[in-house]
Amino acid sequence: MDSLQIGSYTFSSRLILGTGKFSNSTVMLEAVRASGTQLVTVALRRFNREQAEDDLFGPLSAIEGITLMPNTSGASTAAEAVRAAHIARELSGSPFIKVEIHPNPQHLMPDPIETYEACRILAQEGFLVMPYIAADPVLAKRLEEVGCASVMPLGSAIGSGQGLATSEMLNIIIRESGIPVIVDAGLRSPSEAAHAMEMGCEAVLVNSAVAAASNPPAMAEAFAEAVAAGRKGFRAGLMQKSGSAVATSPLTSFLGTC
Amino acid sequence: MLMTTLPEWLSDNRGTTALAAMLSPASSQSIETLAAESRAITLRRFGRTMTLYAPLYLSNYCSSGCAYCGFASDRKTPRHRLEPDEIRRELGAMKKLGISDILLLTGERTAAADFDYLQRSVAIAAEEMPRVSVEAFPMSVSEYRALADCGCTGITIYQETYNRERYETLHRWGPKKDFIARLETPARALEGGIKTVGLGVLLGLSDPVEDALSLYRHVRHLGRTYWRAGMTVSFPRMRPQTGGYEPPFPVDDHLLARIIFAFRIALPDTELVLSTRESANFRDGMAGLGITRMSIESRTTVGGYCESENEESKERTDKGQFEISDNRSAKEFCAALRRQNIEPVFKNWELSYNGPSSNIKLAM
């Protein structure tokens, strides 16, 4: 069986869903169910223990077969992310933590230095650390060295819908990585998710593309199918793209005949 | 009187040509085209959500003479200040409404409501609420640092108008009269470790298009100089109030909508705020089209939340700083948002993120 392995966890679905930006939690839960996802991320800042109607964690934790991965969205330093991870583990019981550290709250680009530091600490503490990072091949290896369970490079800016704008760098990350590479952020359409899987990503994470669709549950299902198809394509071995054309006058005639 | 020269960024024209083209009511871009673009950007970047906050008026003592304000020091308005136990009661009443993101307000610095009072109030509020912002008087870097250490994450400080001559006429006396000092306040707050600054102009005081362009320059200047700066932009518009001030440059709904759409397009990642100064109709209409943050259940009188829990509050004759136009309860307002397929979000922050920011000023 082809499954996604992270730490001791095994997932048959390779689609990870984000849970923000939905018009209400009913639609969000329908999308989660329709996607067949088994791993869902939820921001600690959207946990609300005082007001059930405003809380995302409660209804998600009630769904069977779902593993929750709290995220530190909103943190701007390693220290804040580490504190948030501790609280999130306490509240959710999940060993997963998606490290999101974006000191600039406008463009939400991840801070590589703070992310590295937070991941180093949290991996040592036994978390399954899943860092959201820029598509930087060196940072990806540095995070693998400190014990991250995966790396989650961005396809393009959060909420931009620009797809796999970083594909050159993603290819290097995938080629070199010994831990699962999961594209996180920027995807707009199911075909882009399929493309990421064909490139060799182990999974993709989507949120805006589903939440902002006209019909979020139907879009979630479409992403699930695209991810599965892309994975199958990758496993089946894509035909080589045509290489350089063969020159009409041989380039190696100077070598003579052997 | 124009002794100090204006900062260079006020004449920085990067990005302003495109913005000016959208802002002009004579623009070739129809308001419908702008609305569609603004809506698409908002949906992509912020999703189908609206972050909610509520103001808490701590004190209406004031030392300034803003010609347009119901709390100016020459108004006959009765003055109050909330004491710590009253603040706790107000916070309790707000929490019952679901509020977890608050804005604490005072007038300009006075002996009755000075920095120590404000700092104590912030500390009390931060015990109860994950997100506490302040709209008070300009402070020093070290005062902002002390507020950030107490859990204050945001400062709202409107320039009111970026037209210096209009500004100096409207601010008749008091510390607020100094245009340049006010202009430099958001930068001081960021240097003091405040994470987010809220900027705005009080629409109606001066040429709204010119003011909007300067506001944009201010946002871009702060963003480049302090790269960690969180920023929000508000669009308060003059409404009738105690002083009876008639705004000389009234902004109608069409122009206000155009300004908001243009800002969403020009600043696609910035939170745009609309308060209960605006009508239910306008707020419902603008939700999802560009605005991402709204106030709810506003009481612009000091002690307004506990009073409204009592029946006799309806008899109250005190006037607030300005009159609320959208009087709906949180419940009614949220129901209207939900009808539009927008989720009201009460808690969108976490206490563990409340440490001071480490902004370092970059030379520009």
Query: What is the spatial distance between Cα A162 and Cα A209, in angstroms, rounded to a whole number?
Result: 11
Q: In the numeric block, which tokens belong to residue B157? A: 């400080």
Residue that wins the pLDDT comparison between B189 and A243: B189
- Whether pLDDT at B324 is above 90: no
Helix ranges (DSSP H) in A155-201: 167-176, 190-199
Higher pLDDT, B234 or B322: B234
CATH of domain B8-345: 3.20.20.70
Is A98 among the residues known to form the active site?
yes
pLDDT for res B313: 44
Q: How many CB pairs under 8 A join A and B?
A: 107
Please name the residues between 153 and 172 in chain B that touch chain A, using a CB distance below 8 Å: none
Residue B350 has pLDDT above 90, yes or no: no
pLDDT band at B317 (very low <50, low <70, confident <90, very high): very low
Q: Are strands B343-345 and A67-71 parallel, antiparallel or unpaired?
A: unpaired
Residue ranges of the domains in chain A? 4-255
CB contact under 8 A, A44 and B350: yes
Cα B355 to Cα B151: distance, rounded to the nearest angstrom: 7
Cα-Cα-Cα-Cα torsion B314, B319, B320, B323, nearest 10 degrees, comes to: 80
ipTM of the complex: 0.78
pLDDT of residue B352: 83
Q: What is the mean pLDDT of residues A203-225?
A: 96
Is B331 at the interface with chain A, CB within 8 A? no
Q: What backbone phi and psi angles, to 5 degrees, belong to B212?
A: -65, -40
Average pLDDT of span A225-229: 98
pTM of this structure: 0.87
C-alpha distance from B263 to closest chain A C-alpha (Å): 14
% helix, strand, coil for chain B, step of 5: 40, 15, 45
Q: How far is residue B220's CA from residue A97's CA, in Å, rounded to a whole number? A: 34
What is the model's pLDDT at position B3?
Answer: 61
Indicate the pairing of strand A4-6 with strand A9-11: antiparallel
The per-residue pLDDT for range B157-180, each reduced to its tens digit, is 999 999 999 999 999 988 899 999
Q: What is the dihedral of CA B230, B197, B101, A209, to 10 degrees?
A: -30
The per-residue pLDDT for range B36-72, each reduced to its tens digit, is 999 999 999 999 999 999 999 999 898 888 888 878 8
A34 has a chain B CB within 8 A of its CB: no
Interface contact B328, partner A, CB < 8 A: no
Per residue in B83-113, pLDDT tens? Answer: 999 999 999 999 999 999 999 999 999 999 9
Tokens of B304: 């307004």
Scanning the structure block, which residue is given the tokens 């109709």?
A: B281
Quick check: A38 pLDDT over 60? yes
Per-residue model confidence as pLDDT tens digits over A186-208 = 899 999 999 999 999 999 999 99
**Contact between residue A130 and residue A148 where contact means Cβ atoms under 8 Å apart:** yes
For residue A171, count CB atoms less than 10 angstroms from its CB and return exposed for 0-12, middle for 13-18, buried for 19 or more.
Answer: middle
pLDDT band of residue A50 (cuts 50, 70, 90) is: confident
Q: Is B223 on the interface with A (CB under 8 A)?
A: yes
> Quick one: average pLDDT of A128-140?
97
How many Cβ atoms are within 10 Å of B261's Cβ, its own excluded? 28
Structure tokens at B218: 């201010």
Confidence of residue A246 (pLDDT cuts 50, 70, 90): low
Q: Are A149 and A94 in contact (CB under 8 A)?
A: no
Is residue B316 scored above 70 in pLDDT? no
Confidence check: pLDDT of B356 > 50: yes
- Identify the bridge partners of residue B203 per DSSP, sorted by sequence position: B237
Do B117 and B150 touch, CB atoms closer than 8 A? no
Across the interface, whether the CB atoms of A107 and B45 are under 8 A apart is answered no
Asked if the model's pLDDT at residue B334 lies above 80, the reply is yes
Q: Do B43 and A212 touch (CB under 8 A)?
A: yes
Separation in Å, CA of B230 to nearest CA in chain A: 5
Alpha-carbon separation of residue B262 from A27, B50, B173, B292 (angstroms): 31, 19, 34, 14
- Asked whether the beta carbons of A219 and A31 are under 8 A apart, the reply is yes
The token duo for A170 is 């993603």
- The model's pLDDT over B124-151, given as tens digits with 9 standing for 90+, comes to 999 999 999 999 999 999 999 999 999 9
Chain A's closest residue to B270, CA to CA, is A106
Enclosing H/E stretch for B99: none
Distance from CA of B231 to the nearest CA of A (A): 8
B345–chain A Cβ distance below 8 A for any pair: yes
CA distance A112 to chain B (A): 14
- Give tens-digit pLDDT for A51-76: 888 888 888 888 889 999 999 999 99
Given A83, A106, A207, which is nearest B223 (Cβ)? A106
Residues 6+ apart with CB under 8 A from B174: B62, B63, B64, B65, B73, B108
Helix axes A112-124, A78-92, angle to 10 degrees: 40
Q: What type of residue sits at position B240?
A: P
Other Cβ atoms less than 10 A from the Cβ of B177: the count is 17
Q: Is B347 in Cβ contact with A51 (below 8 Å)?
A: yes
Name the architecture of domain A4-255: Alpha-Beta Barrel (3.20)
Tracing tokens 């095994």 back to the chain, one arrives at A10
Subunit contact B100:A24, Cβ cutoff 8 A: no
Phi/psi at B56 (5° precision): -130, 110
AA identity, residue B344:
P
Q: What is the pLDDT of residues B236-285, one digit of tens each?
A: 998 655 557 888 999 999 999 999 999 999 999 999 999 998 999 999 99
**Minimum-distance CB partner of B47 among A25, A104, A211:** A211
Cα–Cα separations (whole angstroms), residue A17 to A204, B65, B69, B139: 8, 53, 48, 44
Q: Give B173-215 pLDDT, tens digit per residue.
A: 888 999 999 999 999 999 999 999 999 999 999 999 999 999 9
Q: Measure A92 CA to nearest chain B CA, in Å.
A: 15
Best residue in B37, B39, B41, B44 to probe A by mutation, most A CBs within 10 Å? Answer: B44
pLDDT at B115 over 70: yes
